[in-house]
Each structure stands twice: as structure tokens, then as C-alpha cells.
Amino acid sequence: MKRNGSCAVNANIYLVYMSFLIIFVSLTMVNLLQFPSVLAQNATNFYDLYKKGLYLDDAGNYTGAISYYDKALAINPNYINALDNKGVALDKLGNHTGAISYYDKALDIDSYNTNVLDNKGVALDKLGNHTGAISYFDQSLDINPSDINALNYKNVILKILGNHSRSIN
């Protein structure tokens, strides 16, 4: 009987997962269908320009995204999300040092932003600065001990470095 109950629970979990997957794909398709109309709009405020950058970023056009982040930042140079996402786009293009400079600008404005701290840690790790990366993940975890991204990244780096005693098994 236990075995059948377990199968029923697994089937229910699978059905819930598939339902969420269908909803996610549907929402993604709606966003992609709106994509051309959003880009066609003549944006003049920084937030619309930033959103255009996000659409291009989601489509994998990181260079185009950066140009819109730059336009948004020309209007509002302290907009942390634009600074952070420009850093992410630069990182995706392999410009880890450039990405770090934008993470630093964002952290100068808000040193408690765990997304930016995590992103800077990732970029440092890609540059081979594993110790520096861990320090940023630790800062993020000091702010939010349940930051799953920081926990995962730190754990992977510790295992790569062979420091299994500090990693989560």
C-alpha cells in the first residue's frame, strides 16, 4: 500500500510540475509575442529603455541590450537594475572585468544588494579569483543566509578547490 501511495504522490508532483511548466511556457510566449511591439515603441523614459534592454537580453541579443541599458543609464545613472543587468550582459559576452566595474557601481549605491553581490562573485570566479568570489557569496549570505544562489555557487567553488569540509554535501 505504501508503494502505491508513493507512486500517487509522485504522479501528483509530476502533474503539478507539468502545470507550472505549461503556464511558464505560455507566459514566455506572450512576452515573445509582445517583444516586437515593445521594441517598436519610441521609448523616452529610462524605465521603458531599461525594459527594451531586458527584452533584448532575454532574446540573447546582449550587445543590443547593453545599448538600451546605456540609454537608460544616461537618464538615470544610479538605476541599480540597469547597472546590474548591464554587468550580466557584459559577463555573458565574456567581458568579466567590464561586468565587475558595473557591479561595483551598483554596490557603491547599495552594498546590500544580494543579486549584485552574487553576480560579482560569479564574474570573479570566471576570472579565476575563487577566493574573491567566495568573499562576495559570504557577504550575500551574511545579508540573506538562505540566498540559494550564493549557497550553490559557494558550494561549487569549495568543491572545485577541494575544500570539502566547508562545502555542503
Looking at residue 152, which CATH number applies to its domain?
A: 1.25.40.10
**Separation of alpha carbons 67 and 71, rounded Å:** 6
Would you say residue 75 lies in a domain?
no
The DSSP symbol for 44 reads: -
Establish if 99 belongs to a structural domain.
no
Domain limits at 152?
111-169
Read off the C-alpha cell for 60.
Answer: 540573447
Each residue's pLDDT tens digit, 36-70: 444 445 566 889 999 999 999 999 999 999 999 99
Q: Could you give the 3-state DSSP secondary structure of residue 127?
A: coil
pLDDT bucket at 9, cuts 50 / 70 / 90: very low
What pLDDT score was predicted for residue 162? 85
Quick one: DSSP state of residue 79? Answer: -
- Pairwise CA distance, residues 62 & 55, whole Å: 10
Q: Report the number of distinct structural domains present in the chain.
A: 1
Tens of pLDDT, residues 75-125: 999 999 999 999 999 999 999 999 999 999 999 999 999 999 999 999 999
Whether 111 and 119 have beta carbons less than 8 Å apart is answered as no
